[in-house]
Structure 1
Amino acid sequence: MGVGIRQATAADRDGVRRLMDDAFHGDPVSSWILPGVEHRRRVHPLMMGAFLGAVLAHGWVDMTEDGSAAALWLPTAAGKPEPDDGPAQLRAAIDPANERVELVGTLTAAIHPHHRAHDYLWMIAVDPGRQGEGLGSALMTPVLERCDRDGRAAYLEASSTRSRELYRRLGFTDLGEPLQLPGGPRMYPMWRDPQDA
């Protein structure tokens, strides 16, 4: 049975934000950014909502018809971008006393490649009760097929070794050394050149 996929609209915002909150609440990077359990319970939904808002404004969100999975993509041009105060603005908006909110954005921006235009998979969220069913692959496959047809690359940072293995199966390879968050987990920058059919 195929998985129905559509592009999210503003009407899907609350459902996708809840999905992201559920999927990433225990993620190693989210847990590092917001280490206190009660504090994370309050602030994590705000952080996910801010991420979603940025992607809806500048990219697109693909989601399964039943709302059990969503992938957030940002088209990225070649060339070094202008300095961006997005990480500082995010910190000010959701958790001003928490420098890790800003730091993770600054560190990932510093390793983000800009030698070639690409589609950037910012996040992919799957309902925790539905993980392992192939929904993430089903969401990514049409975008990667389009990248292959158009000669376009793709990039992401895997936030766990488990997700890193999924991305390897989809044709991504490690790009440089992992990003070691200070006193926290590793993130794995991964690149995928367009592939021949």
Structure 2
Amino acid sequence: MGVGIRAAGEGDRELVVRLLDEAFQDDPVSGWVFPEREYRRRTHHRLMAAFTDIVLAEGRIDVTEDSTACALWLSMPAAGGDGPDGGGGGGGSEEADDADDAVRLRESVDPANPRVEEIARLMADSHPADRAHEYLWMIGVAPSHQGEGLGGALVQHVLDRCDREGLPAYLEASSERSTKLYERLGFTFADHTLDLPDGPRMWPMWREPVTGRGH
């Protein structure tokens, strides 16, 4: 049985924030950003809301028709190429923009928490910039529906387009367990981990487009 998928709009914002908040409450990276459980329960949703707003404005969010899972994607241009912030003026201004974005994220989400800014900086610094690609920022499945194949269906929905258009895809897996799902979808480990200071690690993964598919 296929999984119905649609593009989210502004009216889906609260649904997406709730799905991400529930899915990532016990995620190792979220636990590092917000170490105290009760504080995380009260504050974590603000970070998910900030991520949702960025992707609603600049990318694409897919949700399952039954509203139990969502995936957040950004189309990333090659450094210096055509596209958002791709003016070709050299890396310095892009690094400054990333730093400014990290500061703004902390100030909007949890001003006294330096780890909000730190995670944004680390992810920006490790992001591949030499080729245009689709970036799977986050995927969230309601806890009661995990293990039903919804996440894989959401990812494959975009990977099919990547294959048609010859685009690679990139993500950072936040647990070693989740790397297994992504490996089944054609992603491979990008040869280095992203190690959070005194915290967990993330696994950057890259997928080349598959040519010759029958679509």
Specify the TM-score bucket, using the shorter chain as the normaliser: over 0.9
TM-score by length of 1: 0.98
SS of the residue 2:164 aligns to? helix
What is the CA distance between 1:176 and its match in structure 2? Answer: 2.5
5+ residue gaps, structure 1, are none
The counterpart of 2:208, out of the listed 150, 170, 193, is 193
2:149 corresponding residue in structure 1: 134
| Alpha-carbon distance in 1 for matches of 2:182, 2:169 | 11
Code of the residue aligned with 1:12 in structure 2: it is D
Code of the residue aligned with 1:131 in structure 2: it is Q
Code of the residue aligned with 1:42 in structure 2: it is R
SS of the residue 1:194 aligns to? coil
Cα deviation code 1:49-99 (max 9, x no counterpart): 000000000001001011100000000000166232111101011111111
Matched, 1:77 2:77: yes
Aligned pairs for 1:13-162 within 5 A? 13-79=13-79, 82=94, 83-84=96-97, 85-162=100-177
Matched, 1:170 2:185: yes
2:91 corresponding residue in structure 1: none
What is the CA distance between 1:156 and its match in structure 2? Answer: 0.4
What is the CA distance between 1:120 and its match in structure 2? Answer: 0.3
| Alpha-carbon distance in 2 for matches of 1:58, 1:187 | 24
Code of the residue aligned with 2:197 in structure 1: it is P
| Alpha-carbon distance in 2 for matches of 1:163, 1:4 | 22
What is the CA distance between 1:162 and its match in structure 2? Answer: 1.2
Stretch moving more, 89-98 or 69-78: 89-98
TM-score by length of 2: 0.90
Q: State the percentage of identical aligned residues.
A: 57
| Alpha-carbon distance in 2 for matches of 1:152, 1:2 | 24
| Alpha-carbon distance in 2 for matches of 1:176, 1:111 | 12
Code of the residue aligned with 2:33 in structure 1: it is I
Code of the residue aligned with 2:44 in structure 1: it is H
2:88 corresponding residue in structure 1: none
Code of the residue aligned with 1:5 in structure 2: it is I
5+ residue gaps, structure 2, are 86-93
Question: Number of matched residues?
Answer: 197
SS of the residue 1:191 aligns to? strand
| Alpha-carbon distance in 2 for matches of 1:43, 1:91 | 12
Runs of 4 or more consecutive aligned structure 1 residues displaced over 6 Å after TM superposition:
none
| Alpha-carbon distance in 2 for matches of 1:142, 1:90 | 29
Code of the residue aligned with 1:91 in structure 2: it is R
SS of the residue 1:75 aligns to? strand
